[in-house]
Amino acid sequence: MILNTEGQCIITQHEFLKLNLLSLSPMESHTTVPSNHEAETEPTEFEKNQKRYKDLIATFPHTKGWRPKGPLIEYHGCWFVQPLLEGCLYAQEFFQARPIDFLICSSAKTGTTWLKALTFAIVNRTCFDDSSNPLLKRNPHELVPFIENEFAFFPQVDVIKDKGNTLFSTHIPHGLLPKSIANSGCKMVYIWRDPKDTFISMWTFFQKQKSDFGPLNSLEESFDMFCRGTSVYGPYLDHVLGYWKAYQENPNQILFLKYEKMRADPLPYVKRLAHFMGYGFTVEEEKKGVVEKVVNLCSFETLKNLEVNEGEKVREDIPSVHWPNSAYFRKGMVGDWHNYLTPEMAARIDGLMHEKFKGSGLLEHDIDD
């Protein structure tokens, strides 16, 4: 499937191959023209089911999105854009988690890229030396696929075809995860972030996206929608609370992390993450500084300055890309919201957060952890 800059389906991958299109992205693409043999590729499992998903989604509530022509669609209390909802429905039906799998879960713009890099580096630390790690040449999103994106739309990518891969990620709320995840007993990690910085990171990320669906809403209008819960994968606070409650019910299956605390002191959290994943660092590894090497390799500063993540470079394993790799490495700092939000806006979202989390134990966990 090819997606437009708003994330909506405009042509299936099967049709793409037939038409010999290079790319529908407004940004430069390195996709090559497929051969006639490739053009005869059978429709994917997702494409065979796509009309059914579209017909179902057409019956769901729609509302104005963050661009005038890009609506948000409600599904069980969560807001999606069309293709991601199609991908979610497909994952619910076809993603078969295994006990050995590990999921990186998050809402958008809360530290997902960093956590993907860390989990990949932890699992594969004995497979590569300091100069051959794939993270040096590929963006973390190429190495840890989304079950509602690559798994559905791009089953041809190496990481999906590789049955040895055990790392997957998702922005899907906990209550909408494929049932196979709970049934398999596979573990997952969830990371959340102060909602003020989450919003700013999301709004500035969308600014880097060219779109045929009109200009991005103003910061003030987008902020109001974010506070009211109408954002991609929102309401954000409900997203966090859903995973928090799941963590409380089953702390052996879910590791619950806070972005700000990890940024302040990543070493102990990386050790905890590795142990939780079943890849704990040995005493010998700790003496040799292996933990520090993982932290340094995956640091925001290291990843941001790699050639693969600079300028307008895009991932080459899928036929249409709407953000350069550099878009995933803006600042990564804590408290950047001070440069955008008024005190009144900050007070509004803080009040909503305290009201939503009151009595849940989440804020106390944040202090005591």
Whether residue 171 lies in the annotated active site: yes
**Model confidence at 135, in pLDDT bands (50, 70, 90)?**
very high
User: Looking at residue 328, what is its pLDDT?
Assistant: 58
Chain centre distance of CA 32: 27
162-173: pLDDT as tens digits? 999 999 999 999
φ/ψ (deg, to 5) at 117? -60, -45
Catalytic position from the list 171, 174, 239, 322:
171
The residue ranking higher by pLDDT, 33 or 141, is: 141
270-318: pLDDT as tens digits? 999 999 999 999 999 999 999 999 999 999 888 888 887 677 677 777 7
Give the C-alpha separation, 146 to 338, whole Å: 31
pLDDT at 111 over 90: yes
Give the C-alpha separation, 337 to 232, whole Å: 19
**Model confidence at 354, in pLDDT bands (50, 70, 90)?**
very high
Interhelix angle for 195-207 vs 236-249, to 10°? 130
pLDDT at 15 over 50: no
177-202: pLDDT as tens digits? 999 999 999 999 999 999 999 999 99
Torsion of CA 28, 149, 105, 57, to 10 degrees: 130
32-73: pLDDT as tens digits? 333 334 445 789 999 999 999 999 999 999 999 999 888 999
User: Looking at residue 368, what is its pLDDT?
Assistant: 63
Residues 6+ apart with CB under 8 A from 326: 304, 309, 310, 311, 312, 313
Give the mean model confidence (pLDDT) for residues 146-169: 96
User: Looking at residue 24, what is its pLDDT?
Assistant: 27
Q: Tokens 């954000």 belong to which residue?
A: 236
Give the C-alpha separation, 176 to 76, whole Å: 8
Q: Exposed e or buried b for every residue in 121-148, given b needs 16+ CB within 10 A?
A: bbbebeeeeeeebbbeebbbbbbbbbbb
Sign of CA dihedral 335, 338, 340, 343: positive
- Strands, DSSP E only, in 118-206? 167-170, 187-192
pLDDT at 14 over 80: no
- Residue 63 one-letter amino acid: T
Count CB-CB contacts under 10 A for residue 38: 11
